[in-house]
Amino acid sequence: MTIDLHADPITLTAALVDIPSVSQGEAAITDRVERALREQTTGFEVLRHGNVVLARTNRGLPTRVILAGHLDTVPIADNVPGHFAVGPAGERVLYGCGSVDMKSGNAVFLHLAATVAEPMHDLTLIFYDCEEIAAEFNGLGHIERDHPSWLAGDLAVLGEPSGGWIEAGCQGTLRVRLSTSGVRAHSARAWLGDNAIHRLAPILQRLADYRAREVDIDGCVYREGLSGVRVSGGVAGNVVPDLAEIDVNFRFAPDRTVDQAVDHVREVFAGLDISFEVFDFAPGALPGLTAPAAKDLVASVHRHGGGGVRAKFGWTDVSRFAARGIPAVNFGPGDPNLAHKRDEHVPVHQITDVTAILRNYLTGAAR
């Protein structure tokens, strides 16, 4: 099956949805994207690296914009192939796995690559695999390692679902494991032991009492959160346990580094008799909206009726670009709250709207 990049991006989205591409099963969709970019665009250098497709122009323009999106989806839930229907609000929508996260965003980027004849920026397109699973498999991470020159640019736009809003930057994430120890005993003689589960009580109290910080950066308000996300303990129904654990997730505003986030969590639980292990983290990304290329995108959104600008609370791959000093935003069709759901669906007007906004931005019409 050939995908037509010159087709309406709504039709192109439907074609992409109908190509199953669960994480680590992206070969078929990657083949079609690569072939389409080679055959249906002009002026692009195209590179295939595993199940990542990269394409870039080299027109010698003063700025370069990166359009990046992941090709993989979560496991299919009886929602491929997709279908059109009338949505809950009476609008026309496209249902299907990946319709929100993020084949509609990819369709917009592919369509623009084929139809924007005279962009005012050089363009780099990156379509990558394995975003939905462990970071070690992430195709964008492999490009960072093997082809870092392809990640150079003045602004990166990730097609993550944002409902047509610019969701700037992202929050960082940190997970720590707090462990308590006690003395094992028969529960009939509980006084001979020291219950490790009971020792979790002060940890839980501090989590309940925690008040999240709100931070305004470039007009985007990030709200932090500290949450217990997993509790483990117990040996048998008649044993006082000698070990209990609780995993705590800290979502932190991008004005903190990972080290500062770790220090903050240590402070929250200071003075408790616990062990403290950091086992997962990823830095946040500052919004970078003061960069000239980002300002022009914001102007295009405002001029052409987009949703505006707000903070991104979750973590996305914009963090990888921010770590390289490149301003990065999330901007795509679809409600992120519908991502990964069985009834995942995108209002088709959002695909059209995002396409129009980005076309005006890339051609300079927003000015």
| CA 333/CA 159 separation, integer angstroms | 8
CB atoms within 10 A of CB 34: 19
- Among 26, 101, 129, 131, the active-site one is 131
CB atoms within 10 A of CB 97: 26
- Among 34, 72, 242, 344, the active-site one is 72
> Does 131 qualify as catalytic in the annotation?
yes
| Phi, psi of 110, rounded to the nearest 5 degrees | -65, -45
Contact at 8 Å (CB) between 158 and 317?
yes
Query: Which token pair is 171?
Result: 């929050």
| CA 355/CA 191 separation, integer angstroms | 68
Sign of CA dihedral 128, 76, 108, 295: negative
| CA 315/CA 327 separation, integer angstroms | 15
- Residues near 166 by Cβ (< 8 Å), separated by ≥ 6? 289, 297, 298, 301, 306, 307, 308, 309, 310, 329, 330, 331
Q: Which residues are known catalytic residues?
A: 72, 131
